[in-house]
Amino acid sequence: MRKLYFILLTISFLLNIKNLFSQAQSCFSLNYSPACVQQGQNVTISVDGYSGSSLWTITQPNGAPFFPPTGPFGPNITIPNIIAGSWTITVQPVSPPLPSPCSFVSETFTIDVLAPNQNLTVSNNILNSLCENEEINLLNDTITQINNITALPITYFYSIGGIPITNPSEFYVPNTSTTIDVYVVDGTNCISNTASITILNPTPNNIVAPNYIIQDTSGFNVIQACATNTQIEFNIPNPDSLFSYSWIIDNGNPIAAIPGPIFQNFDGTNYSNPDEIPIRLIVYDSLTGCKLPFDTTIAVRGMGNLATSDIANNNKPICVEEETMTWIESNDVPITNFGPGDSIQWIVYCGSGDTLTNSLGLDSIISGIIINVTWGMDNLPSAEQVTTNDNGVITTKTVYPFTLEPNITSCDCDYTGTDDNYDGTFKIEAIVTSACNNGVSYPPLTVGKLVSGPLEPKFNVISGCVGESTTIMNNSEIGCDGTTFDTNEDTISYYWNFGDCYDTTIIIDVNTAIDPFPDVTHVYEKPGVYWVKLRTESYCGTDSLLIQTVIRPQPLVNITANDTCFGLPVLFQSNAIQDTTTNRIDSCDDGSTVSIDTIYPGASISSFTYLWSMIEPLDGEYIDGTSQIHPNPKFIFNSCGPKTVWVEVNDSNDCPVVDTVNLTIYENPVANFSTDLNVCNGNCTQIIDSSYILQTNCVSHPISEWEINISSSINGISTFSQLYTTSPNICEIINVSCQDPNILENNFNVLLKITDSFGCQDTSSKTTTITCQPIADFSCDSICIIEPQNGQISFTNNSSFYNTSTTTWSWDFGDGNQSNSANPTHTYLNAGTYKVILTLSDGSCTDTKEAWINVYENPSITNFVNVNVSCFGGNNGSSQVLVNGGDPSYNFNWFPIGFTGQGDSLYSSLSAGDYSVIVTDNNGCTDSSVTTIIEPTQINISTSFTEPSCHGGNNGSISLNVSGATAPYQYSIDGGITWQTSNTFNALAAGTYTIQIEDANGCSYSTSETITQPTQINITTSFNEPSCFGFSDGAISLNVSGATAPYQYSIDGGNTWQTSNTFN
């Protein structure tokens, strides 16, 4: 093991890979995706077996930090397009934290990312100059040569001819040349090539393992860990003269073994406890030059100086005639290192007795001792693996167990004095002696153990009736007081056999059960005398008890009833009789049989009483004088579907029985069909079945038979009757006489009766009317599409032989419009020739009449060519009408207000106003329209002015706002000598001005405006003298009016100004 560890460290050092599995690195490792990390990949790294969030810190090969795109916190990180070189990854799982001791542990890993042209490889190797049976370590890096490792650990795979080598660190060279195949997988799951390690021509030799002796003066090859000077003998009793021998002790220099023996002293305190001192015996064959090692060890053992110790056990109850284990621990670690002079004395007591002083000077209670045994290094029991639960922590330990197998319970073990706390238990005492304590024993360790027997079965059972729940009271007992369980008792089981082929098992968790002695109930299916057996099972074994019970018979009831259709009565029969029980043997499902004693019924048939489950009127109605307490009632249910009916029958045994019967009230099929309600005489009457099964929760059956009957509504005489086995779809002709014009129709009844496969039926009937054939006819005139008829035409009905109350009229006017009126009026929207069709219908009887009519196109006034009045109030306007369409030539009639018409298309010398014209063509069709002659609006002129800024100035202006007439306008202020398009005149002095305006049609207008000016300014001044000669507190005040306020003032020639009228 040391060699393997050394080799792995050497590999890590030579490859300079820091996969830091130290301290907490047993907590977790990393997963890499994709496997075998290479440059350019997008590599996702996560914590193996952990799905929570971690804190990641990553350093790139150049020493710069890497920041994951998704942030430093998450279940994994992805490094996109990873570059070649050595990456350092530190990760700490935080949410949720790992269990202690790994909670919030931070670990660092290093991966060496390879370039794309680099691969994990193993080199071929040839091994020469090896000897047969020589032990070599294939894991050594000089043997297995690995290149381009991404990350540790390295997993090795060796095989010879496909057979794996299970222990490559201790491989023995075979007696012939051998090829070993090897490949490796590194920490990111890179897989190498398969290489060959070839062992060529191993040297044969005759070396075999020699017999040798390694022991101390007492014959042990064990050194006491606390002993500073232990002499060990090394001896080869029968050496082979062909070979030479040498010892390598504790990795020291070789020592010649012959002549022997040789002796060497050891200081046990220089070694760990426990420890193994390596010993190698080298045998050299001078003829072949082969040198083979044979390895063994000297054990270093000892209890040491025990700071604390305690008795531990496997936390199981101690049972009579059953073994339990106890051992000694120091600081929760089992004592397993026994060296020379170490011992444990075990003493087991049942009750107190006299005391005496033993050779160790300790008081020991020896009266009541049932076991007294001492262990030393030479008589230890076999070590065993035990599993303990220390406060929820499950631990597997290797111990030397002290076993206790009592043949009595500990309930009668009574102690006196300070030992009375061990009452009811065996007192186990351990006296530990360590050689490192100069042979002085530690104070005794004691523990009390309750020794129990099995759970004792006790119960009571009361006689009952067949079919009823029988309660069995569980009075079982356990422990010294009957109810107290050992603290380490987990579960108990009750196995009940009820004597009638039925049993049950109840398993109780004694730590959580409210009642660890639960009662049970059982329903017996047959009367008889039964033996009930209870077998109990606890940690300490099983026990059983058998008790008899009597189960009385019930009446034998067998309800019968038949399915029926909804609405029909059901006859229920109870069929109650006495139970004539006899001795019998019941066969069980498992093939066993049970013999049952006879139980005789005590009732007569006349003593039976009945109670049926149907409640009236909730469920339906009892009929024919029966009721809820009748033995054989008749009942009509008020709903369909599956029905479960029960009756309770009782007798003098007072063991009522309830029997049930299941029946179905089937849903009736629904008869339905369609037929022609009105048929023209001579045509067939269509009859189509549409009967169906209701889709409800009720059960129904498919329809199997249809019967159709047709009869006269007047005398009831059948004219048609037919039975069908498939859904009918027929058309039957019903002929009538149409000779009397006063009898135009006859009525017939159509009846459909259906029957389903169960026999449930339903009927449906309809009436059909046979109608005589009418004759269609009409008349009408041609019209104009617009004026004067406006496309409206009236049709006159000339039809005959029809029933005015039942006949319908259907007009098709040929333009996509229809009417149902007998004498309709219709308006056409477009001119043309139209085929008008009248369809006369009476039931299914129809007749048609067709005729063509003309709808003439009217002339159309398309436009007016108007000349409007140029100036407001003038009469130089005119209008000419433009016409097309219709049938030329045209006649024109103008209608101006106050004038008669003139037969011409041009109307002139018009003032502003509305004028109408009517145009008539050769077909008498007309069109009319109105046109308007307009004039400009009356002109509106408003003026405004701006005064000159100073009295006598000429920077005033006049602005005009003009609307109406015909824009644009031009303006003149000098009598028309000059004109301008601007509506403002500037640089004007105060005075009155006349302005002329001319519009776009040359119409002239004028207006006048007067410009005013500010008043002349008036200034007066006053002053105050300085108060003394040479003072500067004088003042000048000004009083100003006129001009345009407000004013500002300057006293320094206009350099500075102020709004105050006083200078101080």
Select the highest-mean-pLDDT range: 167-181, 763-777, 911-925: 167-181
| Residue 12 predicted with pLDDT over 50 | no
Report the SS3 class of residue 820: coil
| Residue 9 predicted with pLDDT over 50 | no
Pairing of strands 906-910, 262-266: unpaired
Same domain, 863 and 847: no
Residue-level pLDDT at 605: 53
Report the SS3 class of residue 575: coil
Does residue 226 sit within a domain? yes
| Residue 917 predicted with pLDDT over 90 | no
- The three-state DSSP-derived secondary structure of 915-973 is EEEEEECCCCCEEEEEEEECCCEEEEEEEEEECCCCCCCCCEEEEEEEEEECCCCEEEC
CA proximity to 352, closest of 407, 412, 431: 412
For 265-318, what is each residue's pLDDT tens digit?
999 999 998 999 999 999 999 899 999 999 999 999 998 877 677 887 766 667
Specify which residues 393 forms β-bridges with: 390
Neighbours of 270 (CB within 10 A): 13
Residue-level pLDDT at 922: 84
**Cis, peptide link before residue 274, omega less than 30° from 0:** yes
Q: Are 927 and 858 in contact (CB under 8 A)?
A: yes
Residues 6+ apart with CB under 8 A from 475: 458, 459, 460, 517
Q: How confident is the model at residue 391 (pLDDT cuts 50, 70, 90)?
A: low
For 182-199, what is each residue's pLDDT tens digit?
999 988 888 999 999 999
Cα separation, 238 vs 206, whole angstroms: 16
Between 345 and 552, residue with greater pLDDT: 345
Same domain, 736 and 816: no
Same domain, 545 and 575: no
Average pLDDT over residues 207-223: 90
Same domain, 94 and 176: yes
DSSP assignments along 301-357, one per residue: E-----S--EEEE----EETT--EEEEEEETTEE-----TT-EEEEEEESS---EEE
For 69-84, what is each residue's pLDDT tens digit?
777 788 888 899 888 8
- Of 380-394, 554-568, 882-896, 900-914, give the lowest mean pLDDT range: 900-914
| Residue 900 predicted with pLDDT over 60 | no
This prediction has a pTM of 0.41
Average pLDDT over residues 855-861: 88
For 756-798, what is each residue's pLDDT tens digit?
999 999 999 999 988 877 888 898 888 888 888 888 899 988 8
Average pLDDT over residues 865-886: 86
Cα separation, 509 vs 516, whole angstroms: 8
DSSP, res 653: T
Same domain, 927 and 943: no
Average pLDDT over residues 844-870: 87
Does residue 208 sit within a domain? no
Cα separation, 830 vs 785, whole angstroms: 6
Q: How confident is the model at residue 600 (pLDDT cuts 50, 70, 90)?
A: low
For 242-266, what is each residue's pLDDT tens digit?
999 999 999 999 999 888 899 999 9
Place of tokens 């050595």: 86
CATH number of the domain enclosing 233: 2.60.40
Same domain, 20 and 41: yes
Mean pLDDT of the chain: 85
Cα separation, 297 vs 246, whole angstroms: 15
Cα first-last separation, the chain: 118
Within 13 Å, how many C-alpha atoms sit on residue 906's CB side? 5
Does residue 955 sit within a domain? yes
For 396-439, what is each residue's pLDDT tens digit?
888 888 887 777 778 888 888 888 888 888 888 888 888 888 76
Does residue 559 sit within a domain? no
- Of 326-340, 630-644, 894-908, give the lowest mean pLDDT range: 894-908
Cα separation, 351 vs 373, whole angstroms: 18
CA proximity to 671, closest of 706, 638, 700: 706
Same domain, 678 and 660: no
Same domain, 161 and 36: yes
Residue-level pLDDT at 10: 31
Residue-level pLDDT at 1017: 86
- Side chain identity at 521, as an amino acid letter? T
Neighbours of 793 (CB within 10 A): 19
CATH number of the domain enclosing 326: 2.60.40.1930
DSSP, res 203: B
CA proximity to 842, closest of 734, 744, 742, 712: 744
Summarize the chain as % helix, strand, coil (round to 5).
5, 50, 50
Q: How confident is the model at residue 995 (pLDDT cuts 50, 70, 90)?
A: very high
| Residue 165 predicted with pLDDT over 80 | yes
CA proximity to 843, closest of 800, 813, 818, 808: 808
Residue-level pLDDT at 11: 29
Token digits for 459?
């119960």
Place of tokens 């120091």: 330
Residue-level pLDDT at 2: 32
Same domain, 157 and 225: no
Cα separation, 510 vs 504, whole angstroms: 19
Cα separation, 357 vs 84, whole angstroms: 79
Residues 6+ apart with CB under 8 A from 492: 455, 478, 485, 507, 508, 510, 516, 536, 537, 538, 539
Q: What percent of the chain has pLDDT over 90?
A: 36
DSSP, res 775: B
Same domain, 905 and 953: no
| Residue 470 predicted with pLDDT over 70 | yes
Does residue 505 sit within a domain? yes
752: exposed, middle or buried (C-beta count within 10 Å: 0-12, 13-18, 19+)? buried
Report the SS3 class of residue 159: strand
Residue span of the structural domain in which 78 resides:
2-199
Q: Are 721 and 709 in contact (CB under 8 A)?
A: yes
Segments in 183-237 forming alpha helices (H): none
Phi and psi at 412, nearest 5°, equal -95, 10
Q: Considering Cα of 995, then 998, then 999, then 1004, what sign does the dihedral take?
A: positive
CATH number of the domain enclosing 809: 2.60.40.10
Q: Are 539 and 486 in contact (CB under 8 A)?
A: yes
Residue-level pLDDT at 602: 53
Count of domains observed in the chain: 10
Select the highest-mean-pLDDT range: 32-46, 386-400, 633-647: 633-647
Place of tokens 């934290």: 97
Cα separation, 975 vs 860, whole angstroms: 53
CA proximity to 959, closest of 998, 1026, 1011, 900: 1011
**Domain end point (choices 665, 689, 715):** 665
Radius of gyration of the chain (CA): 64
Does residue 924 sit within a domain? yes
Residue-level pLDDT at 331: 81
Please give the torsion angle defined by the CA atoms of residues 498, 499, 501 and 503, in that order, rounded to the nearest 10 degrees.
20
Residues 6+ apart with CB under 8 A from 1052: none
Residue-level pLDDT at 668: 93
Residue-level pLDDT at 188: 84
Residue-level pLDDT at 4: 30
Same domain, 970 and 901: no
Same domain, 19 and 95: yes
Please give the torsion angle defined by the CA atoms of residues 29, 33, 36 and 40, in that order, rounded to the nearest 10 degrees.
-130
Between 1020 and 69, residue with greater pLDDT: 1020
**Domain end point (choices 405, 424, 452):** 452
Neighbours of 1048 (CB within 10 A): 9
Cα separation, 801 vs 773, whole angstroms: 8
**Domain end point (choices 915, 933, 951):** 933
